[in-house]
């Protein structure tokens, strides 16, 4: 592995960083909204699954009232 001087390393990092394309404000907002939507959907799904499993366990062990 070749040794690279710190100055050359920083130059290469800056060169690569200039190639990065950042999402627009609209794209960021849409992505954020989608994340929140899927978190809510997953929460509801796991709540329903948890309630069904709880009902099943109570029924099997006769703990339900």
- Would you kindly state where each structural domain of the chain is located, as residue ranges? 37-65
End-to-end alpha-carbon separation of the chain, Å? 70
pLDDT, position 50: 97
User: pTM score, two decimals?
Assistant: 0.65
The H or E element that residue 63 is part of is none
pLDDT in tens, 44-61: 999 999 999 999 999 888
pLDDT in tens, 2-39: 788 999 999 999 999 999 998 999 999 999 999 999 99
pLDDT, position 3: 83
Q: Is the pLDDT of residue 64 over 70?
A: no
């Amino acid at each position: 592995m070749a040794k690279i001087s710190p100055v050359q390393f920083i130059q290469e990092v800056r060169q690569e960083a200039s190639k990065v394309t950042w999402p627009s404000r609209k794209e960021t907002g849409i992505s954020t909204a989608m994340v929140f939507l899927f978190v809510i959907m997953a929460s509801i799904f796991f709540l329903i699954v948890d309630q069904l499993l709880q009902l099943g366990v109570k029924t099997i062990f006769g703990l339900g009232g």
